[in-house]
Amino acid sequence: MEHVYFIGIAGGSCSGKTTLARELARRLGESDTAGISIDSYYLGLSAADRQEIERYNFDHPDALDHKLLTDHLKKLAAGEAVERPVYDFTTHTRTSRVERMEPVPFVIVEGLFPLYWEAVRALLGTKVFIDAPHEVCLNRRLERDTTERGRPREEVIRRYNEMARPMYEKYVLPSKRFADVVIDGERLYEEGVAAVMAHIDSNRAA
């Protein structure tokens, strides 16, 4: 198989990273593209009680197993298959299940921190940052977490204001300077996807 080309998509919580990743996969060819959500690499809180969970900051880089993520990306780059962890967001635990992933021509890595971790960033051929206003991200997060993850509305708002927003300002936003393409999270389809595809094509042709 030809060299694996990694695309990193970073941005705030619910800025549109997954939406962009899905559209890129459609355009690149779904049989030639695989996605890795950094959220799958949460360390998990299997032994934590309710109070510990309420205080735990899931939006901090240390909440994620970036060493395992980096190892998996390097293995894919070397043509080896990996077994991605499966994380249960309702129980805040990493399950015993894994998902086998074979190397494919394009691998999209999306989450809060693909441009923050230097070891991950160094593997990316195209680095994307999505900008979206906090009010847009909070509304999207409310919809996702209350419907898909069963979280109370008040908890979602508290976590966003006390954890997600401050961590974005401290860790995520500064990684924007490493991006090859910066796009508007509210206009992904108008111009964002085209800009990312143009960078991929030009970089691979170089």
pLDDT tens per residue across span 136-178: 888 888 888 888 877 888 888 888 889 889 999 999 999 999 9
**Domain count across the chain:** 1
Mean pLDDT of 45-66: 80
Q: Is 204 part of any domain?
A: no
Q: Residue 13: give the domain boundaries.
A: 5-199
What's the CATH number where 195 sits? 3.40.50.300
Higher pLDDT, 68 or 56: 68
Confidence of residue 106 (pLDDT cuts 50, 70, 90): very high
Q: Which among 131, 129, 141 has a CA at the least distance from the CA of 180?
A: 129
Secondary-structure breakdown of the chain: helix, strand, coil percentages, each rounded to the nearest 5: 50, 20, 30
What SS3 state is found at 33? strand
% of the chain residues with pLDDT over 70: 96
| pLDDT over 70 at 47, yes or no | no
What per-residue confidence (pLDDT) applies to 70? Answer: 98
Cα distance between residue 139 and residue 105, in whole Å: 35
Confidence of residue 49 (pLDDT cuts 50, 70, 90): low
What per-residue confidence (pLDDT) applies to 89? Answer: 78
Q: Is 71 part of any domain?
A: yes
With the C-alpha atoms ordered 113, 62, 149, 151, is the resulting torsion angle positive or negative?
negative
Q: Is 205 part of any domain?
A: no
| pLDDT over 80 at 1, yes or no | no
Q: Is 26 part of any domain?
A: yes
Q: Is 16 part of any domain?
A: yes
Please give, one letter per residue, the 3-state secondary structure of 51-88.
HHHHHCCCCCHHHECHHHHHHHHHHHHCCCCEEEEEEE
DSSP codes of every residue in 82-136:
EEEEEEETTTTEEEEEEEEE---SEEEEEES-TTTSHHHHTT-SEEEEEE--HHH
What per-residue confidence (pLDDT) applies to 50? Answer: 67
Q: Is 206 part of any domain?
A: no
